[in-house]
Amino acid sequence: MPHPPVNIEALGHAYGRGELRKQVLEDISLEIPEGEIVIVTGPSGSGKTTLLTLVGALRSAQQGSLKVLGEELRDARPATLERVRRRIGFIFQQHNLLAALTAVQNVELGARVSGTRSAGERTKAARAMLEQVGMAAHLHHRPDALSGGQRQRVAIARALVGRPAMLLADEPTASLDSHSGREVVDLMQQLAREEGTTILLVTHDNRILDIADRIVHLEDGRLQTYTESVIAENRRMMDTLAHNMNRRDMDAVIEGLDERGFRNLLENITAESQQFIDATARAGDRAYASLLRRGLFAFTRKLAAMLNADRASLFLVEGDLLRLVVADNLDQLGTVTVPVGKGIVGAVAASGNAIRVADAYEDQRFNREIDRQTGYRTRSILSLPVRDHEGNVFAVAQLLNRRDGAPFDANDEDRFSEFMASIGVIFESFKLLSDTTGTTEGFRS
pLDDT digit string, tens, across residues 70-79: 999 998 899 9
Q: What is the DSSP string of 167-181?
A: EEEESTTTTS-HHHH
47 in the same domain as 158: yes
Q: Is residue 183 part of a domain?
A: yes
Q: Is residue 210 part of a domain?
A: yes
How sure is the predictor about 383, in pLDDT bands with cuts at 50, 70 and 90?
very high
Residue 283 has pLDDT above 50, yes or no: no
State the pLDDT at residue 189: 83
Residue 61 has pLDDT above 90, yes or no: no
141 in the same domain as 23: yes
Residue ending a domain, among 171, 203, 222, is: 222
In angstroms, the Cα distances linking 49 to 52, 53, 211 are 5, 6, 20
300 in the same domain as 161: no
State the pLDDT at residue 73: 92
Note the Cα 16 to chain centre separation in Å: 36
Q: Is residue 330 part of a domain?
A: yes
Identify the residue with better confidence: 390 or 116. Answer: 390
260 in the same domain as 170: no
Average pLDDT over residues 15-43: 87
Residue 397 class from Cβ within 10 Å (0-12 exposed, 13-18 middle, 19+ buried)?
Answer: buried
In angstroms, the Cα distances linking 324 to 45, 78, 443 are 48, 57, 11
Q: What are phi and psi of 148, to 5 degrees?
A: -60, -45
Residue 416 class from Cβ within 10 Å (0-12 exposed, 13-18 middle, 19+ buried)?
Answer: buried
Residue 62 class from Cβ within 10 Å (0-12 exposed, 13-18 middle, 19+ buried)?
Answer: middle
Q: Name the DSSP class of 61.
A: B
In angstroms, the Cα distances linking 164 to 88, 159, 359 are 5, 8, 51
State the pLDDT at residue 159: 86
How sure is the predictor about 96, in pLDDT bands with cuts at 50, 70 and 90?
confident
Q: Name the DSSP class of 155.
A: H
Residue ending a domain, among 205, 222, 239, is: 222
Q: What pLDDT, in 10s, does the model give residues 155-198?
A: 888 888 888 889 999 888 877 778 877 887 888 788 777 878 89
Q: What pLDDT, in 10s, does the model give residues 202-253?
A: 988 878 888 888 888 888 888 876 666 666 655 665 565 555 555 455 556 5
Q: What pLDDT, in 10s, does the model give residues 396-444?
A: 989 999 999 999 999 999 988 887 776 666 666 655 555 554 444 444 4
Angle at 133 between CA 127 and CA 138, to 5 degrees: 55
Question: Are residues 59 and 53 in contact, defined by beta-carbon separation less than 8 angstroms?
Answer: yes
218 in the same domain as 254: no
Residue 168: strand pairing partners? 90, 200
Q: What pLDDT, in 10s, does the model give residues 292-343?
A: 555 566 667 777 888 899 988 888 888 899 988 878 766 666 788 889 999 9
In angstroms, the Cα distances linking 80 to 5, 50, 59, 102, 232 are 15, 19, 11, 32, 39
Report the chain's terminal Cα–Cα distance, integer Å.
Answer: 28
170 in the same domain as 112: yes
Q: What pLDDT, in 10s, does the model give residues 334-357?
A: 788 889 999 999 999 999 999 999
Looking up residue 38, the CATH number of its domain turns out to be 3.40.50.300
Residue 196, classed as helix, strand or coil, is coil
260 in the same domain as 203: no
Q: Is residue 18 part of a domain?
A: yes
380 in the same domain as 289: yes
Q: What pLDDT, in 10s, does the model give residues 118-140?
A: 788 888 988 988 888 888 899 99
State the pLDDT at residue 236: 60
Angle at 89 between CA 226 and CA 174, to 5 degrees: 50
Residue 395 has pLDDT above 90, yes or no: no
In angstroms, the Cα distances linking 252 to 117, 248, 357 are 78, 9, 73
146 in the same domain as 289: no
Question: Are residues 203 and 173 in contact, defined by beta-carbon separation less than 8 angstroms?
Answer: yes
Identify the residue with better confidence: 400 or 20. Answer: 400
Q: Which domain holds residue 399?
A: 250-437
pTM over 0.85, yes/no: no
How sure is the predictor about 3, in pLDDT bands with cuts at 50, 70 and 90?
confident
